[in-house]
Amino acid sequence: MNETEELLHAINGLLSALGDEPIQVNPSAGESELTLLRTVQKTYLERLLSKVPAYRAIPNEALIPDMFLQALRNREAQLEGKSG
């Protein structure tokens, strides 16, 4: 299991605890971890904004105070070869 899959497992654990449906992604054969991560990040952000509408007023999504969103961003930076 790669780091993105581990993050998805943790996110789905939280969603389950809150009574929400888990995020379902079906990676294609040969799909990169970065592509998977971006799919998870997009889906999680959509869910987060639907649950916490006040976050929509934040002009830069990088400023949203959410540990999973930050972890996904950090992993994306690592996969892109940036420091983070």
User: Quick one: pLDDT at residue 1?
Assistant: 87
Map residue 80 onto helix, strand or coil: coil
Q: What is the pLDDT along the chain (84 residues), one digit of tens a residue?
A: 899 999 999 999 999 999 999 999 887 777 899 999 999 999 999 999 999 999 999 999 999 999 999 999 999 999 998 644
| Element (DSSP H or E) covering residue 24 | none
Sequence-ordered list of residues with C-beta below 8 angstroms from that of 78, at least 6 positions apart, any chain: 84
Task: Give the model's pLDDT for residue 82.
Answer: 64
